Amino acid sequence: MNSEHGAEGPGSQGASLFPAGRPVPAIRILGVRVHPFTLDGLHRCIAHIIRSRQKAVIANVNVHALNLASSQPWFRDFLNGSEYVFCDGHGVMLAARLLGKRLPAKITYAYWLPVLASFCARNGFSLFLLGGKPGVAEQAATVLRARDPNLTVAGTHHGYFQKRHASAENQRVIEAVNRACPDVLLVGLGMPLQEKWLAENRSDLDVRVALPAGAAFDWVAGIHRRPPPWMTEHGLEWFGRLLIEPRRLWKRYLLGNPLFFLRVLRHRITGRFRTDETTGAGAATDATGTSTPNRSGGSRTEAGTGRG
């Protein structure tokens, strides 16, 4: 398994989740905790949560996510309130190095979801796929079961429903998930909608592990093309995705990537990073989390398509 798929385990759940019995603490990048998981460490963490009957949200961050965390306080709070956060991008790994830290690797859903499904099949863990256009989650489940006939897919549901917390549709979706009682819930509503949905509904969900999964179902089902492996292995997946979907992604990558590294370099030089809150009251924050007033910024989201 190459470094595309992994990094080392959670910093606060005990030595049993770490190699050689040594816990590895989370690092902070632009005010967001990131746990340096390996693939094996992440799998051990998931197994531990399920077998010990705990509950956890395991989030992921790439450059886009950390830009959102800098501009949307609720999103930063969601990431820091999640039990674990893993690296999903070469840009985040590079940012860690620029800040004198280390993330061993990244774990990307396009390649990890089939591996996760195999891991769940071997261990008897069940999955529920929530998100994407009607039929996509079912198609992805069919592909995953064809690869691993022992895989238990407890249920699927599309992402086109009224997501307001108190709405009847939203409650029906939660009830469907809870009837299935899966070990692992994959929420593929697109970033940051999937994180918003989990933030509002996690306390109502009867699942062990909740994973925001972006466009993973589309990729597994073959709905969207993926960049070739050589681009992913050399940190050029963003460029490959830009070539495939230029109209949708040009702003995220051509504006977002330079902005991200500007923030990282500013943090490296000054020891402080800035958050640009959409409410108009941002903050310049040091590595300890102390804040002082600053200016504002913003971001937009896509609804319910499962495209992250």
d(CA 94, CA 182): 35
State whether residue 293 is helix, strand or coil: strand
Residue 100: CB partners within 8 Å, gap ≥ 6?
Answer: 268
DSSP string, 14-58: -GGGSGGG-----EEETTEEE----HHHHHHHHHHHHHTT--EEE
Q: Describe the chain by its helix, strand, coil percentages, rounded to 5.
A: 45, 15, 35
Residue 177: in which H helix or E strand, if any? helix 168-180
Contact between residue 297 and residue 282 where contact means Cβ atoms under 8 Å apart: yes
Instruction: Tell me the pLDDT of the chain (308 aa) as tens digits.
Output: 333 343 333 333 433 444 444 456 899 999 999 999 999 999 999 999 999 999 999 999 999 999 999 999 999 999 999 999 999 999 999 999 999 999 998 999 989 999 999 999 999 999 999 999 999 999 999 999 999 999 999 999 999 999 999 999 999 999 999 999 999 999 999 999 999 999 999 999 999 999 999 999 999 999 887 788 777 777 778 777 778 888 887 888 889 889 999 999 999 988 776 665 433 333 444 433 333 323 223 333 333 444 55
Model pTM?
Answer: 0.82
Looking at residue 101, its pLDDT comes to: 95
d(CA 5, CA 234): 13
Q: Determine the pLDDT at residue 286.
A: 40
Using the structure block, give the residue that is written with the tokens 């860690």. 96
Peptide bond between residue 192 and the one before it cis (omega within 30 degrees of 0): yes
Residue 70 sits at φ, ψ, to 5 deg, of -80, -25
Residue 131 to residue 217: CA distance in whole angstroms: 8
